[in-house]
Amino acid sequence: MRHRLRGRQLSRDMEHRKALRRNLIQSLFENGKIRTTLPKAKEVRALAEKMITIAREGSLNSRRRVISMLQDRRLVDKEQEFTGQTVIQKLFKEIAPRFADRQGGYTRIIKLSDYRIGDGGSLVILQLLTEESKPTGTARRSAGLRRKRNERRHQFAGRALKRERAAKPEGETQTSETEANPGGSEQQQ
């Protein structure tokens, strides 16, 4: 039974699962975004947001708590040269101050349209929210189409009625209605 067991199993044992979460969180803090599967992203998101909340305090105790959850690794640049900074330092100096006025929701999950070739897993991008990385794109194309189509139909119907009325004199329209129903009320009963 799995009473009181939190989180997703992710088809891994406990040590592997912890290492996977730790590595994904470190990559997220290092690069600002990662590409992974949806269950992994949902699992990592919760722990990453907790760490950012702890890091916002900026105290020595909060630094020790984050270090106990993450094993600190050194950051490298594109040429794989050591930059002199670690993931924890970047979290406390750059990432946490950026979210100082925010109460939560530091990350965003964006679903991608493609799937992993091997097993068909749905892919997503998990990224930290920053002011420069707002979602791009336009409003849905179909958002106003229904309303416009309805307006065009009403305009067309209005023009057709005007043409019909202009083609027939007024006395003729009344006689044509009585010819269509000569009995009037007798047939309705």
Same domain, 147 and 123: no
pLDDT, tens digit, 9 for 90 and up, residues 28-87: 999 999 999 999 999 999 999 999 999 999 999 999 999 999 888 888 888 888 888 899
User: Half-sphere exposure (CA, 13 Å, Cβ side) for 147?
Assistant: 3
Same domain, 163 and 124: no
Calculate helix-pair angle for 38-57, 14-31, nearest 10 degrees: 70
Could you please report the per-residue DSSP string of 110-123? EEEEEE-TTT-PEE
Q: Decide if 8 contacts 43 (C-beta within 8 A).
A: yes
Q: How far is CA 108 from CA 34, 76, 184, in A?
A: 11, 25, 69
C-alpha span between 96 and 52 (Å, rounded): 6
In a domain, 70, yes or no: yes
Q: Which domain holds residue 105?
A: 14-131
Report yes or no: 106 and 99 within 8 Å, Cβ to Cβ: yes
Instruction: Judge whether 74 lies within some domain.
Output: yes
Residue 189 maps to a domain: no
In the chain, count H helices and then E strands: 8, 5
For residues 84 and 164, membership in a common domain is answered with no
Counted domains in the chain: 2
* pLDDT recorded at residue 78: 82
3-state secondary structure of 76: strand
Per-residue pLDDT tens over the stretch 123-171 = 999 999 976 656 666 666 666 788 888 888 899 999 989 888 888 876 6
Sign, CA dihedral 27-30-35-41, equals positive
- Whether residue 73 sits in one domain with residue 157: no
DSSP 134: P
Evaluate if residue 177 carries a pLDDT over 60: no
**What tokens does 19 get?**
């290492």
Question: Comparing 142 with 175, which gets the higher pLDDT?
Answer: 142
Q: What is the pLDDT of residue 68?
A: 92
Show contacts of 99-103: CB within 8 Å, 24+ apart.
99/52, 99/56, 99/129, 100/56, 102/129
